[in-house]
Amino acid sequence: MTPGPLLFARYAYPPNALGLCGADESRTLLEYGTANESDDGLAELAQAFDGAWPYLVLIAGANGIQDPLDARVVEAYWVGNSLLERVSAHTLARHVEERFKGRVGRSWARIVDAVAAGAVPHHTFHVFAVYPWLGLLRTGDVAQPLSVLDRCRITPARVEATDGDSVSVLAPALRWDGALRLGPWERRAARFEDGGLRFVMPKPGDWVSLHWDFVCDRLSDAQAAALLRANECAIAAVNRSTGPANVLS
């Protein structure tokens, strides 16, 4: 398995390159990935991602794993695996309360409902339940929030063709009809390289994971299925939740 810090870098890079989270170190993350190297410096960079890092600590603690950057823990948060099932609803609710209750205002009840409805501490839960975009969808503003949700979640995709630094893939589209849905698998473009640097070299037929339309990793059949289940789990949980629009900024 890919070392945990390097696996973390693969998924943290796309939003970091967009200036959305973490220290301004996207080039460094990509250089580590191209060299396929992992060291204490990369592990230190991971801790600057204050959105993801506490979830890793939570998952590790619930599973008796000392290192939050253990590869199994990192995979659980970004892709999904059995470690998520060992984080109780009570533990997840307490974790989210400690971090976010003072910032989400009236939408706190909806987040609690999502946890009670079976949400697990996967990145997709954080995107759908804690970020403000689903709340904006519920107010009737659809195009931009849906696009952000679709690109910010981690999604499995099947590579059809490569062209330069880009790939054409099939991936399940996110839809909104008063509730979130996974729609048909549709063709979309994604990048896998930036300035000659990349994490993986995809080829037609590969399963890959996308984050902000960038290829983060190559997946096994089992990992692709786990990632799809994680998306479906988060969607089901937030669709059962109630309450006013999320106001977290």
Task: For the chain of 249 residues, list the mean pLDDT of each consecutive stretch of 10.
Answer: 93 94 90 91 92 96 97 98 95 85 66 84 92 76 89 97 96 93 96 95 97 97 98 92 44
Helices (H), 79-212: 89-104, 108-116, 123-125, 133-138, 143-152
State how beta strands 197-198 and 207-211 pair.
Answer: unpaired
Name residues whose C-beta falls within 8 Å of residue 210's C-beta, 6 or more positions apart in sequence: 154, 155, 156, 157, 169, 171, 190, 216
Q: Please, what is the angle between helix 4-17 and helix 71-78, to 10°?
A: 40
The reported pLDDT for the residue numbered 249 is 28
Per the document, the length of the chain is: 249
52 DSSP 8-state letter: T
Measured CA to CA, the distance from residue 88 to residue 96 in angstroms comes to 12
Domain ranges of the chain: 4-85, 89-240
34, burial (CB in 10 Å: exposed 0-12, middle 13-18, buried 19+): middle
89-240: in CATH 1.20.950.20: no
Look up residue 147 and give its two tokens. 């696009």
Measured CA to CA, the distance from residue 126 to residue 51 in angstroms comes to 9
108 DSSP 8-state letter: H
Residue in 173, 206, 175 with CA at minimum distance from that of residue 192: 206
237, burial (CB in 10 Å: exposed 0-12, middle 13-18, buried 19+): buried
Q: How far is CA 47 from CA 6, 127, 154, 223, in A?
A: 13, 19, 20, 25
The reported pLDDT for the residue numbered 105 is 59
The reported pLDDT for the residue numbered 103 is 64
Count helices and strands (H / E) in the chain.
11, 7
The reported pLDDT for the residue numbered 243 is 46
